[in-house]
Structure 1
Amino acid sequence: MCKLIEWPDYDQADAFRFNKVINEPDFLPLYVVRQLAQAATLVRVRRGKLVATPLGKSILSDAKRGSLLAVLFHLAFWRMDLSYFGRGLLGSWPQADAGVVLWSLSVCANDWQSAEKLTRLCTIPEAAMFSETWDRTPYAMEAKILRPLLWFGLLEHRTEKVPSGRFGEHHSYRKAELFDRLLAFDVQVDLSERGSALKAAASAARDFTRVRRGIAHPRHAAEH
């Protein structure tokens, strides 16, 4: 499996450098794919092995394959707990506001933006976050929203070395073409009561975020 899976911005040699024995959690791409496949009931464990369910076998047909990306995307952002990828940082924030964050990204991420700026522009901060000496919000945003979107092909990513130091990089993201093809939004903002409007939107995020089915990943479309 290590040789079969290609994953954006994933250095397999670097990830395996300190592991002589490779377990599934050590190989992030396989771990993510397995979690999604099980959440979608495409596979199940039988006698210690993963086997395809009837649904998993049927989804491979041309008629149903187009809906697979939308189903997995919906499960990832509204059913799975993505805090694992942020090591529990800030609990469910900002995934709990996924609809608001995705809509904001659709407006703010047309050009390259840093993870810090996208965090300020696209999330709803909580009061407790302002009392901390270290701003952890960009790291939570990147781990639970930006990188998963990169994995799905909805964002592009680039890094730049920090000029003033030997170590560290600036991470920037922008929308990929697939973002606007896959996601649609139905948003109404009352500017006279902006605060309450945003809170209402956050509490009903799924109501205005529509994941279009029948959209193939650009790479898969090219193969067909």
Structure 2
Amino acid sequence: MIEFAQLPDDHPDLSFSPLLRAARLTLTYAADEGAIALTKTKAFKRSFVHWAAEHFDWPGRSYEELFRYNKVLNEYDFPPLELLHFLLVALKLGRHYKGEFRLTKRGKEFSQALGALFHELIPFYILNVDHASNGRFDDRPFGNWDVWLNVINVEVENGASERNLYGAFYGEGTDGANAGWREISAFSHCVLKPLEWSGLISVHDVDEAGRSARMCFKTSLWRSALKLDTDDMLARATQH
């Protein structure tokens, strides 16, 4: 069973979520400015995309990095913003009206309630969005979030590599190197990236036995926001 705790607005662990931070900034911007201008295709206009790139402080996508190979940014050049735009409309926190993105009454209320915004946004994003639709190959790993979260809860207690996590679910290949890169990539895109963007895990590039590896760790937000069946296993292990 997956249960997300309702955290108070001033809970310090909420600061771990890049997606929550971006949502609050976007809702506050729209509230202060009255609206955000849209293109004819109903994407955010470049002026706001540039503002978002500068202020979101997105891990691995700093303002300087985003503009390293681009003179201008469109919404699709900044995937976290493109995703957030979809989520805010899907959750009816904002709507398109006469060429603008405007906050709904709900959006205005949630912009002032960070804990409630987390509880509205993050479970929907993790559990209800088709994460494979934005992947490179539209591949989906076999499984569901109840299994993924409960197993990761145990496997990542002291950190685990992306490859070893994949192996915990799907087994190792005959050469001991798990499955091919495409299968691991699909698992990473559909399972690990949503958890990272939500702020529940952090992912770091490290050197492992002479080759590059991606290590996953729980954040404090995982421990404070998620209530899982395997929590009892961790508690018993700590006692011993």
TM-score with structure 1 setting the length: 0.67
- Cα distance, 1:135 vs. partner? 4.2
Secondary structure of 2:55's match?
A: coil
- Cα distance, 1:45 vs. partner? 0.8
- Cα distance, 1:25 vs. partner? 1.1
Secondary structure of 2:92's match?
A: coil
Residue of structure 1 equivalent to 2:131:
82
* Residues 1:185 and 2:228 aligned together: yes
Residue of structure 2 equivalent to 1:152:
198
Residue of structure 2 equivalent to 1:134:
180
Secondary structure of 1:41's match?
A: coil
Secondary structure of 1:59's match?
A: helix
* Residues 1:24 and 2:75 aligned together: yes
Residue of structure 1 equivalent to 2:141:
93
Whether the 8 Å CA contact 2:150–2:229 is kept in 1: the answer is no
| Whole-angstrom CA distance in 2 between matches of 1:40 and 1:29 | 16
Unaligned runs of 5+ in 1: 126-132, 188-224
Task: Tell me how many residue pairs correspond in the alignment.
Answer: 173
* Residues 1:43 and 2:94 aligned together: yes
Whether the 8 Å CA contact 2:53–2:62 is kept in 1: the answer is no
| Whole-angstrom CA distance in 2 between matches of 1:87 and 1:152 | 20
Which whole-Å deviations, capped at 9, do the CAs of 1:42-87 have from their partners, x for residues lacking one?
Answer: 111111211101110111344xx32221221221122211114422
| Whole-angstrom CA distance in 2 between matches of 1:56 and 1:13 | 30
Whether the 8 Å CA contact 1:116–1:138 is kept in 2: the answer is yes
Equivalent residue for 1:107, pick from 154, 161, 164: 154
| Whole-angstrom CA distance in 2 between matches of 1:24 and 1:13 | 16
Residue of structure 2 equivalent to 1:5:
56
